[in-house]
């Protein structure tokens, strides 16, 4: 058995007993004691009386400090545990403790001219982090003489070794980590949305290979939306190490309640709050949390979910943003894991197809909707395509897109118009089943698709292809989906991509109704969902199937002519 294993299989018992979440480790005692001593002696600059961390820091954090510095072998200059992942709710002194750790790292470091990096989510928080770290130094006369502080570039230098601590903002500064000996990321869930976040993680871990004395320390709350991409990968990896499913030099400290206690709103039980807020009574006030809970219950499910994620580390479900589409919260109800395209076609008596795609930055979405034989239930299947240009333009989405590509729900085409050709193939499959009633498309920007569909006999002239009015005109289709999700008569494949799209949908009120849009940032896409609404708009007209194209002489003739022309 690996003596440096960081698995903590009894974490549920530990967290409910208020015990440390750091397992027993064979730490280098002198290094652990020195690091903890330095940490405790530092003062907090923004509290009355500027108390030391020995006085103001919660006992829960001391084992984390000991593990970080006590895992360093001074004889070999190797850190036995190089990565740390702390999941902790807001207001638990995450940023204050993190800044102090980086000051201690400068003091403990033996590498000449080592570079340390603290990445904050925004410029404002980076300024605060720098103020905290520099303020801690300035409160100690000995440290004040040994450190050089450059406020205009947020740089702190430890003169005896030339080691530096650079504090950067993820939203404004260029972030690289190829030379960092030690890095702390504040709010990984925010940093993970940065366009090159995946690349930076590769750089940071590459630096650890060249610097075995180095470390990567992540501190974060839960994300305000369902975890995706880099954050989801990092969180899942930490959980697997904690649960003993992976053996990595990574210490997971995850202050989250067991799922059995959080489901169905169980996290609202005040008796549980202190277990995931270890700084309760210090920087966390129970009465404040109780007031926030009362307000959130008045404001609705979206605000409750936000409170749960930020103050109790409850992983949020999709569609619970305050301006989100009501159907997103209901989306999981319609999940039917067996709904492939073939199954939708087989089980349906009639099909409609929806198409939607914006510019090169967006996805091209197709949604096949069937009316089930016997039950009349609606069965949905979706797929999306992304062009090389769209992939290049939206780098922040790469890890999310890669998840969907692995699932088989998104295709990165090699060149245009391969996406159009693939869409036409799907429509042809529906047509050849003899069950296709209509193809509904957003009229804007789909000229090439219209031309390609004409080659297989799907045209406006023969009434197989229609333009679906967008904006407020889609309100009826949107409301129909909501009702059918609620009553169980709308089924879909339960795929991650569509859940993501549903969670991205924003409701915008207009003078005459409402419309669905995506976030202005462009990070969250909704094109496959909008294709679904197009298909619903046509299915709502209660169409009948047109029979197989091979039984319709005029359509067969038109396709045959088109093939001969090619």
- Do 35 and 110 contact (CB within 8 A), yes or no? no
pLDDT over 60 at 560, yes or no: no
If phi > 0 it is left, if psi is from -120 to 50 it is alpha, else beta; for residue 154 that is left
Q: Do both 252 and 362 map to the same domain? A: no
Q: Do both 357 and 247 map to the same domain? A: no
Q: Do both 200 and 335 map to the same domain? A: no
Closest CA to 296 of 281, 313, 309: 309
Burial annotation 438-455 (CB, 10 A radius, 16+ → b, else e): bbbbbeeebeebbebbbb
Chain length of the chain: 566
Q: Do both 179 and 77 map to the same domain? A: yes
Q: For residues 369 and 36, what is the distance between their CA atoms, to the nearest angstrom?
A: 61
Domain residues for 433?
Answer: 328-565
Spatial CB neighbours of 21, under 8 Å, sequence gap ≥ 6: 8, 11, 14, 15, 60, 253, 254, 255
If phi > 0 it is left, if psi is from -120 to 50 it is alpha, else beta; for residue 457 that is left
CATH number, domain at 448?
A: 3.30.420.240
Q: Do both 355 and 496 map to the same domain? A: yes
**pLDDT score of 232:** 85
Domains contained in the chain, number: 2
Q: Of 210, 225, 256, which residue constitutes the final position of a domain?
A: 256
Peptide bond just before 417 cis, omega within 30 deg: yes
**pLDDT score of 15:** 95
3 assigned to some structural domain: no
Strand residues in 322-455 grouped as ranges (E): 348-357, 364-372, 378-386, 410-412, 436-441
Q: Do both 244 and 347 map to the same domain? A: no
283 assigned to some structural domain: no
Q: For residues 275 and 352, what is the distance between their CA atoms, to the nearest angstrom?
A: 51
- List Cα–Cα distances, 177 to 40, 180, 360, 407, in angstroms: 28, 5, 31, 31
**pLDDT score of 446:** 66
Q: Do both 478 and 342 map to the same domain? A: yes
Q: Do both 217 and 332 map to the same domain? A: no
pLDDT over 60 at 566, yes or no: no
pLDDT over 70 at 255, yes or no: yes
452 assigned to some structural domain: yes
CATH number, domain at 117?
A: 3.40.50.300
Q: Of 226, 256, 286, which residue constitutes the final position of a domain?
A: 256
47 assigned to some structural domain: yes
pLDDT tens digits, 91-123: 998 888 999 999 999 999 999 999 999 998 889
Q: Do both 135 and 223 map to the same domain? A: yes
Q: Do both 471 and 385 map to the same domain? A: yes
Closest CA to 458 of 474, 477, 476, 441: 441
454 assigned to some structural domain: yes
Q: Do both 235 and 355 map to the same domain? A: no
H or E stretch including 12? helix 11-16
Q: For residues 109 and 69, what is the distance between their CA atoms, to the nearest angstrom?
A: 10
The residue behind tokens 């039984």 is: 551
How far the first Cα of the chain sits from its last, in Å, is 67
**pLDDT score of 552:** 45
Q: Do both 26 and 129 map to the same domain? A: yes
Spatial CB neighbours of 557, under 8 Å, sequence gap ≥ 6: none
**pLDDT score of 171:** 77
**pLDDT score of 399:** 76
pLDDT tens digits, 339-357: 999 999 999 999 999 999 8
Q: For residues 353 and 368, what is the distance between their CA atoms, to the nearest angstrom?
A: 5
Return phi, psi of residue 394, to 5°: -115, 65
**pLDDT score of 554:** 47
303 assigned to some structural domain: no
pLDDT tens digits, 428-463: 999 999 999 999 988 775 677 888 999 999 998 888
Q: Of 256, 274, 300, which residue constitutes the final position of a domain?
A: 256
**pLDDT score of 397:** 79
279 assigned to some structural domain: no
Q: For residues 111 and 163, what is the distance between their CA atoms, to the nearest angstrom?
A: 8
**What rounded mean pLDDT belongs to the chain?**
89
Show the 3-state SS of 269-281: CHHHHHHHCCCEC
pLDDT over 50 at 556, yes or no: no
Angle at the Cα of 120 (from 115 to 126), degrees rounded to 5?
A: 90
**pLDDT score of 512:** 67
pLDDT tens digits, 271-281: 999 999 999 99
Question: Reduced to 3 states, what is the DSSP secondary structure of residue 17?
Answer: coil
- List Cα–Cα distances, 543 to 52, 98, 359, 427, 540, in angstroms: 73, 61, 31, 17, 8
pLDDT tens digits, 407-428: 999 999 988 888 999 999 999 9
What is the mean pLDDT of the segment spanning 500-511?
A: 81
Pick from 88-97, 166-175, 422-431, 542-551: least confident: 542-551
- List Cα–Cα distances, 480 to 300, 353, 380, 483, in angstroms: 22, 16, 14, 5
Q: For residues 99 and 103, what is the distance between their CA atoms, to the nearest angstrom?
A: 7
Band (551; pLDDT cuts 50, 70, 90): very low
Spatial CB neighbours of 471, under 8 Å, sequence gap ≥ 6: 510, 515
**pLDDT score of 549:** 47
pLDDT over 70 at 326, yes or no: yes
| pTM of the predicted model as reported, rounded to 2 decimal places | 0.72
Burial of 354 (0-12, 13-18, 19+ CB in 10 A): buried
304 assigned to some structural domain: no
- 169 DSSP β-pair partners: 120
Number of Cβ within 10 Å of residue 331's Cβ equals 25
């Amino acid at each position: 058995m690996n003596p440096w294993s960081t698995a903590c299989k009894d974490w549920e018992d530990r967290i409910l007993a208020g015990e440390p979440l750091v397992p027993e480790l064979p730490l280098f005692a002198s290094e652990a004691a020195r690091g903890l001593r330095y940490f405790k002696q530092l003062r907090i600059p923004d509290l009355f009386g500027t108390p030391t961390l020995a006085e103001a820091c919660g006992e829960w954090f001391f084992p984390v400090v000991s593990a970080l510095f006590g895992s360093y072998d001074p004889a070999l200059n190797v850190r036995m545990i190089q990565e740390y992942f702390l999941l902790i709710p807001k207001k638990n002194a995450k940023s204050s403790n993190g800044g102090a750790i980086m000051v201690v790292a400068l003091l403990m470091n033996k590498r000449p001219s080592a570079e340390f990096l603290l990445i904050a989510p925004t410029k404002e928080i980076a300024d605060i982090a720098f103020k905290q770290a520099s303020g801690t130094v300035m409160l100690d006369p000995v440290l004040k003489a040994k450190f050089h502080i450059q406020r205009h570039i947020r740089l702190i230098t430890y003169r005896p070794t030339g080691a530096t601590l650079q504090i950067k903002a993820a939203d404004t500064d260029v972030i690289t980590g190829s030379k960092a000996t030690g890095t702390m990321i504040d709010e990984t869930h925010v940093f993970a949305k940065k366009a090159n976040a995946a690349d930076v993680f590769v750089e940071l871990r590459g630096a650890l290979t060249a610097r075995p004395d180095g470390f990567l320390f992540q501190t974060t709350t839960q994300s305000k939306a369902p975890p995706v991409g880099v954050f989801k990968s990092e969180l899942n990896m930490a959980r697997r190490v904690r649960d003993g499913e992976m053996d990595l030099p990574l210490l997971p400290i995850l202050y989250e309640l067991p799922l059995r206690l959080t489901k169905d709103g169980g996290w609202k039980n005040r008796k549980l709050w202190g277990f995931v807020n270890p700084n309760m009574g210090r920087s966390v006030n129970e009465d404040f949390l109780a007031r926030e809970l009362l307000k959130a219950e008045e404001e609705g499910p979206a605000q409750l979910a936000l409170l749960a994620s930020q103050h109790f580390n409850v992983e949020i479900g999709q569609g619970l943003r305050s301006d989100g589409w009501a159907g997103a919260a209901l989306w999981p109800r319609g999940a039917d894991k067996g709904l492939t395209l073939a199954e939708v076609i087989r089980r349906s008596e009639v099909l409609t197809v929806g198409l939607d795609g914006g510019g090169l930055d967006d996805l091209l979405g197709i949604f096949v909707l069937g009316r089930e034989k016997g039950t009349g239930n609606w069965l949905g299947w979706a797929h999306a395509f992304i062009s090389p240009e769209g992939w290049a333009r939206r780098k922040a989405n790469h890890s999310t897109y890669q998840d969907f590509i692995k699932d088989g729900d998104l295709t990165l085409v090699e060149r245009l118009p391969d996406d159009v050709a693939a869409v036409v193939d799907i429509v042809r499959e529906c047509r050849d089943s003899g069950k296709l009633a209509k193809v509904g498309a957003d009229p804007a920007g789909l000229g090439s698709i219209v031309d390609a569909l004409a080659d297989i006999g799907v045209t406006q002239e023969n009434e197989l292809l229609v333009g679906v009015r967008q904006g407020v005109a889609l309100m009826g289709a949107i409301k129909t989906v909501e009702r059918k999700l609620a009553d169980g008569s709308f089924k879909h494949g339960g795929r991650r991509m569509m859940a993501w799209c549903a969670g991205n949908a924003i409701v915008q009120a207009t003078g005459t109704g409402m419309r669905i849009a995506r976030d202005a940032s462009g990070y969250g896409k909704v094109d496959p969902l909008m294709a679904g609404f197009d298909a619903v708009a046509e299915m709502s007209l209660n169409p009948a199937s047109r029979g197989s194209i091979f039984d319709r002489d005029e359509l067969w003739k038109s396709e045959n002519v088109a093939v001969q022309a090619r």
